[in-house]
Structure 1
Amino acid sequence: MIKYILNTVISLFIVVPVFSQQLPQYSLYKLNDVIINPALISSKSYNQFSLMVRDQWSGFEGAPNTQSFSYYNVGHSEYGKGLSLFNDVSGPISILKGQISASKLLKTDFKHMLSIGASLSIHNYSFDNTQLVLEDDGLIDPVINTSLIDKSNGISANIGLSYFGEKFQIGASILNVANTKLTISETNDNSLVSHYYLSFDYKLMDNSSLKLTPGLLIKKIGASSIQFDANLMVDLNKSFFGGVTYRSSDAFITILGVNYQNYSIAYSYDFTFTEMNIPSYGSHAIVVNYRFKPKPKDKDKDGVFDFEDECPNTFGKIELKGCPDSDNDNIINKEDDCPFEYGTIENSGCPDKDNDGIVDKYDECDETPGLKRFNGCPDTDNDGVKDDEDDCPNEKGTIKNNGCPEIIGDDTTAFLKEEINRSNLILWAERIHFDYDKYNLDENSKIILVKIAEYLMIDRNFILHIIGHTDKNGSKRYNKKLSINRANEVYKFLIKQGVNKSRLKAYGVGKSQQISNKDNINRRVEFKIIN
C-alpha cells in the first residue's frame, strides 16, 4: 500500500509512457521558439542566449519545474547552429538533457524562404524511489524499491521544417522522432513519446510604434488529444511587449516583457482552469534573452564582408565588390572573356591590337586591320578574296581567277570552244565559283551554264546531281543552308535554259568537303553524273 497514491504517476511516466508529458510545457516559447522547432534558427537575423525558468502548478507538491539555457548562432549565410541544456523535474522523475541543433536554408523558386533543421539530444532520465513513502502494512511490493534511484541514459532526435517570409512563418516539427529505449526498474521497454507541432504566425501590423502578431500552435503528444495555443503578441515602441494565449482545455496565459538594448525580459502567468487550479496557484515562467548581431565574415580575407562580396570564396578587389581582376582591366574575371589579357569593356575584356573590331583570339591577322567576314584579315581591293589568298591584292579581280582581273573572251572564250562530253562535264563545274557568303551567279558562271544546258538537252541519258559547297568560315548550320542555296541557283538556271527538272537533283554539303586551303576555291558547285 502506498501512503501517497503514486501509482498514477508511475503508470503515466513509466508503464504507459505515451500518455506522459515527457517534454516541458512552455508558455514563453514565442520568445525562444527554436526549442520546439530547430528549423527556425535559420529564420533569425541575430544570435541569442536564452535563460528560461518555469514553475508549473505553483504550490502543488511535486509539480513540474523546468530550467533551460539555449544559444543559437546564425553567422553563416546558409547554416544555423544551436546548443541547449534542459533540466526538468516532476516529483520523483527528472530529466537532464544536452542538445545540439543545426538548420539549413534551401533554395526555392519562390520569393519566400524554406529551411530544415534537426537536433540531437543526450539525456539522463531518473526515477527517485526514495521520494516514495510507503505505509507499513507488513507487505513488500517487489516492484518498488524505496532505497533505489533508477537512472537511464539515452539519445533522441528532433526534426523541423519552416517556410517563412517578412510577414509570416509556417513551421512543422517532431520532437523525439527517434530515441533509444529507457531501462527503468529493470524493464527496457520504456521510451520518450513523440511530440508533434504545427505553428502559424502572421505580422498583422509591423511599424516602429506598434507590432501585432497573432499566432497558432497546434500540438499532439503521443496518443493524447490534439491541443492548440491561440495567441496574440503586442510590441509597443520596441520597448514594451506583452501577449495573451488561450491553451485549449488547460489555461489562459498572460505575458508581460520589456526590451532594453540587447536584452529582453518577460514573465508569464497561466490561469489554470482545469482540476489543477484547486491545489495550485497557477504556473509562472521567466525568460531572459540576450541578442546580438553575428559578426560579419570575410572568408577570402579580401576586406569585403561575405554578405556584400559577390565572389565570397575568391580573393578580389574592394572596388569590384570582392571579385578578382587578374589582368587589371577593371572587368571581373567571371565577366571577362580574356581574364588574363588586358582588354576593353566593349570587347568583353579581350584585346584587339589592330582595332578592327575583331578580338585577337578570333583574329587570324591580329596585327593588320581586316574584315569580320575574313576573321580579321584584310581584302585591300575589296574583290571578295582576302589578301593572303589574292594573287593581285591591289587589283580587283574575280574569285575563280584568284583575285586577279579577268576579261570575258580570253580564258572563258577559249574554254567555251572545247566540246562537252560526259568525261569532261565535271571539269566545267570547276569554272563556277561564288563570292564570300553569296549564292548568286556571276556573268562568267552563267556563260558556262548556258553551254552545259545545251549539252544536257543533247545527251538526255543520265541524271545530273548538283552539289553545293562553302569555305570553312561560319557555322555548320549556316554553311549547310548556303551550300544548298548555291546548288539550287545552278539548278534553277539550267531549268530556265530548257533542261527537264526531272534530270536534275540539287543539294548541299556545307563546309564538310574542303578541296583547297584557299577559301575562294572551296566556294563552288560540283557535278556528279548518275547513269
Structure 2
Amino acid sequence: MKKILVILLVGSVFISNAQQLPHYSLYMLNEAIINPASLSSKTENELTLMLRKQWASFEGAPSTQSISYNHLNHHKFKRGVNIINDVTGPISMLNATISGSYILPGERKNSIALGGSASIMQYIFDDNQITLFNDGVADPVIDGEVEKVIGNSFTASVYYFNSDYFVGFSVPNIIASNLDIGNNKSDNKLENHYYLNGGVNFKLNSKYKMEPSLLIKKTGATPIQLDVNMRTIYNDFIWGGLSFRTSDAAVLLMGLNSTNYNLAYSYDITTSSIRIPSAGSHGLLFTYKFESKRNDRDKDGIYDEEDDCPKTPGLLALKGCPDKDKDGIKDSEDECPDEFGLKINDGCPDKDSDGVIDNDDECPEVPGLARFKGCPDSDGDGLQDAFDDCPDEFGPPINKGCPEKPLPADTVYIRDTIYIYRGVQNNIDPERGFKDIYFDLDESILTSIEKKKLDDLTVYLQEKPKFNISLVGHTDSQFTEEHNERLSEDRVKAVENYLVNKGIANDRIMTEWKGETQLLNKNNTQDAHAKNRRVTIKVLYN
C-alpha cells in the first residue's frame, strides 16, 4: 500500500506540475550544486560524492546520487562537472552539468563572482511501475509505456564572499526546455528555481567556530521555503549541527574534516504530514581534495591567485605587476613607464618640480608656471622671463616687463614712513630643528601643508647661510623591507629636490634613509603608521 500511494502521488505531481531539482540537506558543503558562482570561493581541486535516500521506509521513495569534480586552482576562472541520478518511483532523471565561474576584478578581500552552468538531462517515465485500483475509469495518462525525453537548462548566479561571510543568488532553469512526456506535454515544463543563500563564519576561540547559514528557496507556484542551518566546528576536524527546513524536516548534521577529505552525514526527521509512516531521510557526502600546486606562471614569487599581472614578473608591493622605471607605479598605470616620475604626475618625470611634466615643459630645467608651459616668471609681473626685458624687476606688459620710470621732480617730500613686517611660521623644534615632513601611505609626494613647512625652512636657511641641514627618511612597516628602504630614499629626495629648486645649495643638505628601522610608534594603528611616515630635519651649525 505504501508503494502504491507514493508512486501515485509522485506520478501525479510530475504530470500536473513543473519538475523540481533534488534537494540535499548537506548542500552547504557543496554549494556549486545550487550556485555555480560559489566555485570561486575555493582554491583546491576536489571530487565530491553525495547520496540521499528520502522517506527511507517507503519503497519507491526518492533516491539521489551525484558525483562532481571541481577544478579550482586557477586564480580567476573556476569550472566543474556534475552528474546526478535521481529516481522516484516510475520517474528517473539522469542529469549532466558543466559549471563555470569568474571573479570580477577588484579588492581581493571582498570578491564578487559571476557563474553559470549548462545541463542536459534524460527523464524516463515507466508506466509499468504504477498499479491502479480498478474503479472502472481509464486513466489516459497511464498507458503502460516507457517514455523517454531529453531536456536542457541553464543556470545564472552571482556570489559575494570574504573571509567572514558570503551571500549568493542563483536561478537554475533560467532558460529551459519543455519535457514532451505524457498526454499533457505542454504542461511539463522545467520551472525556474530561485535560491538566495548566505552564511557567516564566527571564530569563538582558537578551537571552536560556528557557521550559521540560510537558504531561501522558491520554485514555481510552491510556497517559499526556508532552510536554516547551524554548524559548530571543533579544531577544524569534527563538527555537528542542526538544520530546519520549513514544512518539511528537522535535520541532524555531523561530519569530519581532514586536510585531504571531508565526510558528512545528515538525518532528516520529517515534520510534514508524511512524518508518521516515514522513517526519515538519510544523506551522505564524501569529498576528496587533491593536493594542487599553486601556480606562479611568471616566476616572480607571487602566486597567480594573488598576482594582478600573472603573466609578467613584478613586485610584491605592486601585487605582482612590473615597474620598469622603479618609481613605485605599475607600468600599466604609468604614463611614462621607462622614466622615473612621481605618482602625482602619473609616473612622468618633472626635473624642475614645477608641476609641469618634462614632456610638456618648454623649460624643463627651471621651475616655472603651468600657464607658461613650465617657463619662469621670476618677478611675477605676468610676463615670462623669455619675453621680459627686466626679468628681475616687476613691470607692466606695456613696458615689456620693466618698471615705470618716475616723473621728474625738483623736491621729494617724505611725510610718512610705513614699515612692512614679514612673519615666518614657527616650525622650528628647538631641541633638534624643524618639524618633521609627513607623507601619505606609500607616497613620496609633498602635500601643500608640508611644502609650506619647507618654504619656511628655505627662508630660514637663506637668512642663515652658514647653517646646513640633515634629512633622514623613514617609513611605516606595512610593506616589505626592500620596498620601504626605497620609499624612504624617495621621500628624502623629494624634500631635497624641493629645497634645491627653492635656491638652497645642494652641498648644504646631507641625506640618509632608514626604511622601517626607526619606528616612532610600533603600534599597528593608522595613527601610529602616519607618525612613522616622515622625513626628519636637523639644523647643523658650522
Match of 2:9 in 1: 8
Structure-2 change in CA distance of 1:430 and 1:293 (3 Å): same
Q: How do 1:74-113 and structure 2 match up within 5 A?
A: 74-106=72-104, 112-113=110-111
Amino acid at match of 2:264: A
Match of 1:432 in 2: 399
Distance 2:397 2:135 in 1: 126
Pick one of 116, 123, 126 that aligns with 2:124.
126
Q: How do 1:6-405 and structure 2 match up within 5 A?
A: 6-14=7-15, 16-18=16-18, 22-106=20-104, 112-133=110-131, 143-146=141-144, 148-185=145-182, 187-189=184-186, 190-291=188-289, 295-298=293-296, 300=298, 304-316=302-314, 322-326=320-324, 333=331, 338-340=336-338, 350=349, 361=359, 372=368, 398=390
- Could you tell me how far 1:385 is from its partner in structure 2? 11
- Could you tell me how far 1:149 is from its partner in structure 2? 1.5
- Could you tell me how far 1:53 is from its partner in structure 2? 0.6
Structure-2 change in CA distance of 1:82 and 1:139 (3 Å): same
Structure-2 change in CA distance of 1:311 and 1:434 (3 Å): farther
Q: Kindly indicate whether the alpha-carbon contact (under 8 Å) linking 2:141 and 2:183 is maintained by their aligned counterparts in 1.
A: no
Gapped runs of 5+ residues in structure 1?
A: 391-396, 404-428, 436-441, 449-531
Structure-2 change in CA distance of 1:236 and 1:342 (3 Å): closer
Match of 1:461 in 2: none
Q: Kindly indicate whether the alpha-carbon contact (under 8 Å) linking 1:49 and 1:289 is maintained by their aligned counterparts in 2.
A: yes
Q: Kindly indicate whether the alpha-carbon contact (under 8 Å) linking 2:324 and 2:337 is maintained by their aligned counterparts in 1.
A: yes
Aligned residues: 399
Could you give the per-residue CA deviations for residues 449-472 of structure 1, whole angstroms, max 9, x where no partner exists? xxxxxxxxxxxxxxxxxxxxxxxx
Q: Kindly indicate whether the alpha-carbon contact (under 8 Å) linking 2:249 and 2:268 is maintained by their aligned counterparts in 1.
A: yes
Q: Kindly indicate whether the alpha-carbon contact (under 8 Å) linking 1:79 and 1:104 is maintained by their aligned counterparts in 2.
A: yes
Amino acid at match of 1:160: S
Structure-2 change in CA distance of 1:273 and 1:104 (3 Å): same
Distance 1:52 1:316 in 2: 43
- Could you tell me how far 1:229 is from its partner in structure 2? 2.1
TM-score, normalised relative to structure 1: 0.62
Match of 1:485 in 2: none
Q: Kindly indicate whether the alpha-carbon contact (under 8 Å) linking 2:300 and 2:314 is maintained by their aligned counterparts in 1.
A: yes
Distance 1:106 1:329 in 2: 28
Secondary structure of the structure 1 residue equivalent to 2:185: strand
Amino acid at match of 1:176: N
- Could you tell me how far 1:8 is from its partner in structure 2? 3.5
Gapped runs of 5+ residues in structure 2?
A: 409-542
Q: Which moved more, 1:295-304 or 1:178-187?
A: 295-304
Q: Kindly indicate whether the alpha-carbon contact (under 8 Å) linking 1:80 and 1:103 is maintained by their aligned counterparts in 2.
A: yes
Distance 1:320 1:249 in 2: 53
- Could you tell me how far 1:282 is from its partner in structure 2? 1.6
Distance 1:358 1:138 in 2: 97
Could you give the per-residue CA deviations for residues 290-314 of structure 1, whole angstroms, max 9, x where no partner exists? 2357643345565643344454354
Distance 2:109 2:322 in 1: 30
Q: Kindly indicate whether the alpha-carbon contact (under 8 Å) linking 1:201 and 1:213 is maintained by their aligned counterparts in 2.
A: yes
- Could you tell me how far 1:341 is from its partner in structure 2? 5.4
Q: How do 1:409-420 and structure 2 match up within 5 A?
A: none
Structure-2 change in CA distance of 1:303 and 1:433 (3 Å): same
- Could you tell me how far 1:29 is from its partner in structure 2? 1.0
- Could you tell me how far 1:170 is from its partner in structure 2? 2.8
Structure-2 change in CA distance of 1:321 and 1:34 (3 Å): closer
- Could you tell me how far 1:30 is from its partner in structure 2? 1.7
Structure-2 change in CA distance of 1:138 and 1:291 (3 Å): same
Amino acid at match of 1:179: A
Distance 2:184 2:133 in 1: 25
Distance 2:342 2:192 in 1: 64
Give identity over the alignment, percent.
Answer: 43
Distance 1:266 1:334 in 2: 47
Distance 1:253 1:120 in 2: 30
- Could you tell me how far 1:262 is from its partner in structure 2? 1.7
Q: Kindly indicate whether the alpha-carbon contact (under 8 Å) linking 1:70 and 1:84 is maintained by their aligned counterparts in 2.
A: yes
Distance 2:358 2:68 in 1: 62
Could you give the per-residue CA deviations for residues 361-404 of structure 1, whole angstroms, max 9, x where no partner exists? 567688xx76657989999xxxx9999999xxxxxx857xxx9x
Distance 2:234 2:151 in 1: 44
Distance 1:333 1:57 in 2: 62
Structure-2 change in CA distance of 1:137 and 1:83 (3 Å): same
Distance 2:46 2:54 in 1: 25
Amino acid at match of 2:130: L
Structure-2 change in CA distance of 1:246 and 1:377 (3 Å): closer
Secondary structure of the structure 2 residue equivalent to 1:268: strand
Amino acid at match of 2:166: Q
Q: Which moved more, 1:108-117 or 1:41-50?
A: 108-117
- Could you tell me how far 1:118 is from its partner in structure 2? 2.3
Structure-2 change in CA distance of 1:292 and 1:346 (3 Å): same
Match of 2:491 in 1: none
Amino acid at match of 2:401: F
Structure-2 change in CA distance of 1:195 and 1:310 (3 Å): closer
Amino acid at match of 2:39: I
Structure-2 change in CA distance of 1:241 and 1:362 (3 Å): same
Distance 1:243 1:70 in 2: 24
- Could you tell me how far 1:117 is from its partner in structure 2? 2.5
TM-score, normalised relative to structure 2: 0.61
Distance 1:328 1:114 in 2: 32
